[in-house]
Amino acid sequence: MKAMKMKNGGTALVLRSCVAAVCMLAAGTTMWLPRAATAQGTGGGAVVKSAEDVKGMLTPALPANAKEIAAVMTTAKVGEVITIRGNIVMATDAFGEKVATFTLGDESARTGERPALDKLPASDAGIAAAARATVQIADASGVAMGFGLSGQQGLKAGAEVFVTGKVVAANGASALVVNATSLHVARSAMPMGFFTEKPAASARDVSEARASGGLKAGDEVVLRGRIGGSKEPFVAGRAVFTLMGRGLKACNEISGDKCLKPWDYCCDTKEEILANSVTVQVVDEKGQPLRTDTKGRRGLKELSEVVVVGKVLVADGKAVVINAKSMHVAQ
């Protein structure tokens, strides 16, 4: 009996050793896990304890389908996670003092002149409360953290910011408070009113305009087309993309084609693609493309149909480059 016990004891010993080893391994693994759960701030997975830590909340890519503040004001519900786009209001009270909050405004709802950066008023009266949102970085209990955000990570008056976060206050009319979990600060803000709600009249298809040979440098044009022409028609980090005319079919319009990136027009030759496309860019005052993405704005993606109003910069018979002034996303 004793021998049996000892034999069983040996097996148990091995089993116990195995269990102990697994437990130790598990404990060891846990020690190496990131401690995001212990974060004081609400910065998504980032631990936010100071203004410098806000860097961890920044996303390099522009979030797709961000909504304008005025549009979301009436629909936002407390507890809902939303992504909004806006510009930090042009006022000295845009940022909380020693508190992690800032006010985002919908520039399309502005009335009157936009204040100059070097002459900021105490408050930005040009944007009504119905087109403003208060963004805060809060601690675990939902209270805004005790540091200021002015000047941190590109956050300044006028900066274009995309905020993803949870709605903590909304009255459906004039109050919207969002606890941010991630931020995207555009390095260059898109011009005010660049995106229009309605397409400009008398738009011509890109293929038609190119075939007629009517595009000359300096001409004001209104062109309709779809974003495509290569595997990556958008330039990441710059407001540049290529627009294709209806003269060519996208791969998904060709029966039986199973192309994974139908916007690359891989069934057509490079010459055909070149003859049916224009390059569109949004430039700054120096003529350089803006340092921001266009993909994701207003749901813009590959094969989106857009109407662009702009001026022909280059038309040398091969390449055509348009400096866009405004754009409407048709679908």
Partner 1 sequence: MRRLPFEYAVRNLGRSPARLVLSIGGSALVVLLILVAGGFVAGMSRALRATGGEHNVLILGAGSEESVERSEIEASTPGVLAASVPGIRTRAGVAYVSPEVHVMLPVGVGVTETGGNRRQVMMRGVTPTAALVHASVTLTEGRWPTAGSDEMMVGRMVSTVMGVSAGAVAVGEKISFDKRMWTVVGTFSAPGTVVEAEVWLPLTDLKAATKRETDSCVVFTLEPYDEATGEGAEFADIAAFTKTRPDLELVAMTEREYYGKLALFFGPIKLVAWVTAGLIAIGGLFGGLNTMYAAFASRIRELGTLQALGYRRAAIVWSMIQEATLATAAGGLLACAVGVLLLDGLAVRFSMGAFGLAIDERVVGIGLMSGLALGVIGALPPAVKCLSPTIPLALKAV
Does the protein bind partner 1 through residue 260 (CB under 8 A)?
no
Binding mask 309-328 for partner 1 (x = CB under 8 A): -----x-x-xx-x-------
Smallest distance, partner 1 to C-beta of residue 7, A: 6
Smallest distance, partner 1 to C-beta of residue 161, A: 17
Does the protein bind partner 1 through residue 48 (CB under 8 A)?
no
Does the protein bind partner 1 through residue 55 (CB under 8 A)?
no
Does the protein bind partner 1 through residue 263 (CB under 8 A)?
no
- The rounded radius of gyration (Å) of the Cα atoms in the chain is 27
Instruction: Pick one of 99, 235, 259, 267: the residue that binds partner 1 (CB under 8 A).
Output: 235
CA distances from 271 to 216, 244, 319 (A): 20, 13, 11
Smallest distance, partner 1 to C-beta of residue 265, A: 12
Residues 123 and 43 sit within 8 Å (Cβ to Cβ)? no
Select 125 or 319, whichever has its Cβ closest to partner 1: 319
Select 10 or 142, whichever has its Cβ closest to partner 1: 10
- Say which residue the tokens 């595009």 belong to: 215
Footprint (CB under 8 A) of partner 1, residues 1-40: 3-4, 6-7, 9-10, 13-14, 17
Does the protein bind partner 1 through residue 60 (CB under 8 A)?
no
Smallest distance, partner 1 to C-beta of residue 242, A: 6
Smallest distance, partner 1 to C-beta of residue 281, A: 7
- Say which residue the tokens 């100059």 belong to: 116
CA angle 247, 253, 257 (to 5 degrees): 125
Select 14 or 33, whichever has its Cβ closest to partner 1: 14
Residues 269 and 240 sit within 8 Å (Cβ to Cβ)? no
Tokens representing residue 299 in the block? 């749901």
Within 10 A of 33 (CB to CB), how many other CB atoms are there?
Answer: 8
Footprint (CB under 8 A) of partner 1, residues 274-293: 274, 277, 279, 281, 288-289, 291
CA distances from 193 to 31, 59, 114, 130, 328 (A): 51, 24, 12, 18, 10
Select 4 or 260, whichever has its Cβ closest to partner 1: 4
Select 65 or 288, whichever has its Cβ closest to partner 1: 288
Q: Which residues pair with 83 in a beta bridge?
A: 164
Select 100 or 209, whichever has its Cβ closest to partner 1: 209
Select 69 or 161, whichever has its Cβ closest to partner 1: 161
Does the protein bind partner 1 through residue 247 (CB under 8 A)?
no
Smallest distance, partner 1 to C-beta of residue 268, A: 13
Q: How far apart are CA 21 and CA 15, in angstroms?
A: 10
Residues 248 and 226 sit within 8 Å (Cβ to Cβ)? no
Does the protein bind partner 1 through residue 216 (CB under 8 A)?
no
Instruction: Pick one of 87, 152, 181, 242: the residue that binds partner 1 (CB under 8 A).
Output: 242
The footprint of partner 1 (CB under 8 A) covers 3-4, 6-7, 9-10, 13-14, 17, 229-230, 235-238, 240-242, 270, 273-274, 277, 279, 281, 288-289, 291, 314, 316, 318-319, 321
